[in-house]
Amino acid sequence: MRSRFQPDRRLTMRMGATLFLLGLLYVAFVAALIVLLKSWVLVVVIAAALLGAQYWFSDRIALFAMRGRVVEREEYPQLHGVIDRLCATADMPKPVVAVSDMEMPNAFATGRNADHAVVCVTTGLLRRLEPAELEGVLAHELSHVAHRDVAVITVASFLGVIAGLVVRFTFYSQMFGGARRDQNTAVMLMAVMAVSVAVYSISFVLIRALSRYRELAADRAGAMLTGRPSALASALTKLSGDIAKIPTRDLRTAQAFNAFYFTPALGATPGLQRLFSTHPSLEQRLEQLGRISSELGQSPTSGQAG
């Protein structure tokens, strides 16, 4: 699909390189599990089933996990109106529109392609943003769909998910069944855990490198589409500050989906979380939007919602 969103060749190259490296890692991971578990049928069937489920049903899984529901125009006319205008401007299919009844102000896009995409916003976001700010956030999310990076990050995150599941299964298997196993079985399970931890760590680094760049690319493309980078900057500043006020327990629940959010669910003092964040820092994002304002001949605060 071609749209009027500004293309980003560097993003395309990064997505290709990430998928290639993760593909090699995936093959090596499956091969290692087959050697260790001595059952290629079991490993291949389970891995293929999980990958297929994550790719084909990623939109439903994400909506269910985030308590989102599809909403019609009669219920949220302003939200539908903004998405209609942006899709017409970008010359792209309109995604399914959903709302999550959550206080945390955020938004995300998911789906395997533009024809099977969902854009979801939380009620906390809708209450906080002015119309121009909402337009900026939605343009950002639609650019993820147009650039296809939302599908790439969904597939890319699969390897980390399956490695994490193997680690948990092996850990609990050792904890609750260790006394009934011989030494060879225990060594094999420890080897499986070690391989899984290594795979998870490598995929963790690769996904974050891609995720941080794709957020900057979406900010840039969304700002160029609307022509109001200052409105997007205003939304970023407002939402980042408000998310920091959300109770820590609620943020921890949401952090598993940070790679998909408009802005990450980090607390007031993120510490090491910032180092391993799926997003660039707020300062980096605002600096880029300031440069775009200059390119468009605007002052950094022009067009900012009240």
More confident residue, 194 or 51: 194
Active site residues: 141
Instruction: At 14, list the tokens.
Output: 């990064």
Predicted TM-score of the model (pTM): 0.82
Q: What is the DSSP letter of 167?
A: H
d(CA 111, CA 106): 17
d(CA 138, CA 146): 12
pLDDT averaged over the chain? Answer: 82
DSSP codes, 110-165: EESSGGGEEEEEEHHHHHH--HHHHHHHHHHHHHHHHTTHHHHHHHHHHHHHHHHH
Query: pLDDT tens-digit profile of 5-31?
Result: 877 889 999 999 988 888 888 888 788
d(CA 21, CA 35): 21
215 a known binding residue?
A: yes
Structural domain spans, the chain: 9-254+274-292
103 a known binding residue?
A: no
Mean pLDDT comparison of 16-20, 59-63, 154-158, highest-scoring range: 16-20
d(CA 196, CA 166): 7
Query: Is the per-residue pLDDT at 306 higher than 50?
Result: no
Percent of the chain at pLDDT exceeding 90: 39
User: What are the percentages of helix, strand and coil residues in the chain, rounded to 5?
Assistant: 70, 5, 25
Range from 32-46, 98-112, 287-301 carrying the lowest mean pLDDT: 32-46
Q: What is the DSSP letter of 106?
A: -
Q: How far from 303 is each of 48, 118, 263, 286, CA to CA, in Å?
A: 49, 28, 21, 15
d(CA 259, CA 255): 9
Q: What band does 64 get if pLDDT is binned at 50, 70 and 90?
A: confident
Strand partners, 120: 98, 108
Q: Are 140 and 158 in contact (CB under 8 A)?
A: no
Mean pLDDT comparison of 140-154, 180-194, 223-237, highest-scoring range: 223-237
144 a known binding residue?
A: yes
Instruction: At 250, list the tokens.
Output: 């609620």
Q: What is the pLDDT of residue 305?
A: 45
Over residues 236-241, mean pLDDT: 91
Query: pLDDT tens-digit profile of 250-281?
Result: 666 666 677 788 988 776 555 556 667 889 99
Query: Is the per-residue pLDDT at 167 higher than 60?
Result: yes
Q: Are 141 and 110 in contact (CB under 8 A)?
A: no
